[in-house]
Amino acid sequence: MATLKELSKFEERFVGGHRLCAGCGHGISVRMVLNAAEDYNVVVGCATGCLEVASTIYPYTAWNCSFIHSAFENAGATISGVEAAYKSLKRQGKIDKDFKFVAFGGDGGTYDIGFQSLSGAMERGHNMVYVCLDNEAYMNTGIQRSSATPMGADTTTSPAGKVIPGKQQPRKDLTAIMAAHNIPYAAQTSISNWQDVHKKAKKAFDVEGPAFLNILSPCPRGWRYNTPDIVELTKIAVETRFWPLYEVENGKWKLNYKPKKYVPIEEFLKPQGRFRHLFAPGNEHVIKAIQEEIDNRWLALLSRCGEPQELPAK
């Protein structure tokens, strides 16, 4: 594992001057992922979303590499086209340089509207990395719920009201769905652990064939937490098992981190304004449901990873 001293010497691929909000998780995630591409030539594709609109306001680009955005729901397909062109041109001897291909999409562009295009690209086996920057709602249009939005979250289309306390459904487990495509590499990671992100991004770039990374990438505005606390918050997400760190390499599931003790989900919910209403009297059942869902999914994950099925000690 390279040290930060070494990693800081690679060229910066995502430069300052982009218009992402102060403290946006995407800026951190993108820099970490592209840093793992080291000296390779990279073509980045992007789904429409915060990252794309904030990084390429004409005539500026924050991308210090080739970049293409075409629409919201097709980052997977667009980058497959780029990769197909690379294969074809390379085979014909029309180009000689080596390239890596990466597509970034938010959870809207990945879990929802871009799901079909992503699934197709993975099934076809393009040599590309798809990175989902999961901030758990449609943030670019102003915080609407997506299928990645956790149960109970207050968004502008799942508002916490007098009758309905936020989003009613638990999140879609996209990482597992991508693993079910039997691609060489699928992993879930969190920026709280930069080594984990780096290791996984590097693996994703190195494998032959499609790779998928799901990164928990908080949105200060949508989650309503204290902006500087992004690392603590994503760390609690891992400790509460809300966002487990795991990878699936050639069909083999591996848990990358097992919390020592049982940290209740309240620890993750409390610092965030989007869950504030859950702590009002009468909404205890929602927190209970969230916790049950997390515990059930954790046990299922342990089973997939061949770990003993037990919850951490309380």
Q: How far is the CB of 22 from other proteins (least distance, A)?
A: 4
- Tell me which amino acid residue 143 is: I
- Which residue's CB is nearer to other proteins, number 132 or number 133? 133
CB 301 within 8 A of CB 308: no
Least distance from other proteins to the Cβ atom of residue 293, Å: 30
Q: How far is the CB of 66 from other proteins (least distance, A)?
A: 4
For residue 163, what is the DSSP state?
Answer: S
The DSSP line for 115-142 is HHHHHHHHHHT-S-EEEEEE-SSBTTTT
C-beta of residue 219 within 8 angstroms of C-beta of residue 137: yes
Task: Tell me the two tokens of residue 109.
Answer: 């562009």
Nearer to other proteins among residue 95 and residue 311 (C-beta): 95
Closest contact distance (angstroms) between CB of 69 and other proteins is: 4
Pick the closer one to other proteins by CB: 128 or 294.
128
Q: How far is the CB of 113 from other proteins (least distance, A)?
A: 10
Q: How far apart are CA 267 and CA 259, in angstroms?
A: 14
List the structure tokens of 247: 């990878």
Element (H, E) at 26: helix 25-35
If the CB atoms of residues 84 and 311 are measured against other proteins, the closer one turns out to be: 84
Choice between 249 and 267, CB closer to other proteins: 267
- Alpha carbon distance 215, 254 (integer Å): 17
**In terms of CB distance, is 128 or 302 closer to other proteins?**
128
Count of other CB atoms within 10 angstroms of residue 176: 18
- The distance of closest approach from Cβ of residue 179 to other proteins in the complex, given in angstroms and rounded to an integer, is 19
Q: Angle between the 230-239 and 25-35 helix axes, to the nearest 10 degrees?
A: 80
Q: Which is nearer to other proteins, 1 or 22 (CB)?
A: 22
Report the distance separating Cα 104 and Cα 117, nearest Å: 13
Task: State the nearest-atom distance from the C-beta of 15 to other proteins, in Å.
Answer: 4
In angstroms and rounded to an integer, the radius of gyration of the C-alpha atoms of the chain is 19
